[in-house]
């Protein structure tokens, strides 16, 4: 009897892990969002610019993210080097297709 109770409890626990989730299975993860944002940034940097990887956080729901980093511009005169914070919005649809929109 006790063994049957444990088996039923374990089965219910496994079944419950899939219940109550309102996000689809194909919603992008934080790592996927950051990788996408970093790839988009790399395509947009000038030759004299560099940046650390983005830090991304959910912005209201699991399909909108705000990502920030600092973009450094190297100049021939080291005293004129500049660093500017960059914030972008990454929005993904239910199919996993994402868009990258700079805010600043």
pLDDT in tens, the chain (104 residues): 444 333 343 333 333 333 333 444 445 788 889 999 999 999 999 999 999 999 999 887 668 899 999 999 988 776 767 899 999 999 988 887 899 999 86
Q: What is the DSSP string of 45-77?
A: --TTEEEPPPEEEE-SSTTEEEEEEEEEE--SS
Number of domains making up the chain: 1
Cα 57 to Cα 27: distance, rounded to the nearest angstrom: 14
Whether residue 69 lies inside any domain: the answer is: yes
Whether residue 68 lies inside any domain: the answer is: yes
Whether residue 20 lies inside any domain: the answer is: no
Residues of the domain holding 48 = 26-102
Whether residue 6 lies inside any domain: the answer is: no
Whole-angstrom CA distances from 17 to 10, 12, 13, 21, 67 are: 11, 9, 7, 8, 29
Whether residue 32 lies inside any domain: the answer is: yes
pLDDT reported for residue 62: 65
């Amino acid at each position: 009897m006790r063994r049957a109770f444990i088996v039923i409890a374990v089965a219910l626990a496994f079944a419950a892990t899939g219940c109550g989730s309102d996000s689809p299975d194909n919603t992008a993860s934080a790592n996927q969002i950051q990788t996408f944002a970093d790839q988009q940034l790399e395509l947009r940097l000038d030759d004299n610019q560099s940046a650390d990887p983005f830090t991304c956080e959910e912005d209201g729901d699991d399909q909108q993210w705000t990502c920030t980093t600092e973009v450094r511009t190297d100049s021939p005169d080291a005293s004129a080097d500049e660093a500017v914070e960059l914030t972008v919005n990454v929005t993904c649809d239910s199919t996993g297709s994402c868009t990258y929109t700079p805010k600043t």
